[in-house]
Structure 1
């Protein structure tokens, strides 16, 4: 592992500040391991870790879950509502990049 002092292009306040950040991250992820890894449609590696090992779960006593109730009613807007072109990209993805659902291993969460 390289030290901050050996990397002149790093944009940190000091070598001490870098070592402090590194220690924080190492502490946060200590004991976290991937049960399985996959690659998303953008080519990024996604690790699937035990849900109870996720740093947020360890800090807050569990991961957030969606409520069981229906979302609140949103009133209709006044006047004509224009379509947002960005939503078309979500509803109709590019032909060369189909979106597929991925089944996660049991009791894991992506990280």
Structure 2
């Protein structure tokens, strides 16, 4: 496999693990529930490990922007779909701006090459 493909797969896995970890953080009830707290910790450790794998070939700024930006968007979607929380117009606008920023960084910035 090509190094960049491995890095982007690792980055995707890191994002999924971060979203799962954040979901279990919500379920941990401020670390008072041992099971969700332990699962949260495992997902966060896996997320940081996979992010470190991605950083072997991806620039830190690009990888972190994608990890943080897409993680934020996906956590917002999880909060709506699973936890039945609502997003107002300003939250949706902010999420759209995050997505736009990630697209611009990856599609048009020379820093990602």
TM bracket, shorter-chain basis: under 0.3
Which structure has more relative contact order (CA 8 Å, sep 6+)? It is 2
TM-score (norm 2): 0.23
TM-score (norm 1): 0.24
The structure number with the bigger radius of gyration is 1
Greater strand fraction, Structure 1 or Structure 2: 1
